[in-house]
Amino acid sequence: MADKLTLARSRLRPLVVLNMGREAADLTQGAHLRRLCEKQLGLGIEYVALTPWDPAVHTSVNERKLLCREWPKSPLSRAVEVLAQRIVDRGFPGEAPLGSFEDLEGLAEDFPLP
């Protein structure tokens, strides 16, 4: 059983979305999380998106309205659209390669912060 668990862990590569970014310096949290996962868990993680902090979220919750429907041009709605398209285009792990998004600064280009 230990061999099976070791094999399963070696294949595990969590996909992570950095959430509520306000500025490029927030990407350092991603680097810190990556180091922590590698050191403490022996796991590599892959960043697939950066979602910006968006005041429309608060409004959406208070008004009980769907963010992406009511505010499609909001920063978070646009980030969700990019992420969804990325998943559609590249599939899920095990089905089709998702590609490498290891460059945290590259996330800031794909998912610009306000």
Q: Could you read off the pLDDT of 83-109 as tens digits, one per residue? A: 888 877 776 555 444 444 455 666 666
Strand segments (E) across 22-105: 46-52
**Would you kindly state where each structural domain of the chain is located, as residue ranges?**
2-110
Strand 15-21 and strand 46-52: the pairing is parallel
Bridge partners of 49, per DSSP, are 17
Closest CA to 29 of 53, 13, 61, 58: 53
For residue 76, which of 53, 43, 94, 106 has the smallest C-alpha distance?
Answer: 53
Give the whole-angstrom CA distance, residue 96 versus residue 102: 17
The per-residue pLDDT for range 30-49, each reduced to its tens digit, is: 888 889 988 998 888 887 78
- What is the C-alpha separation between 53 and 61, in angstroms, rounded? 14
Instruction: Evaluate if pTM is beyond 0.75.
Output: no
Architecture per CATH, domain 2-110, reads as 3-Layer(aba) Sandwich (3.40)
What backbone phi and psi angles, to 5 degrees, belong to 62? -60, -40
- For residue 89, how many other CB atoms are within 10 A of its CB? 10
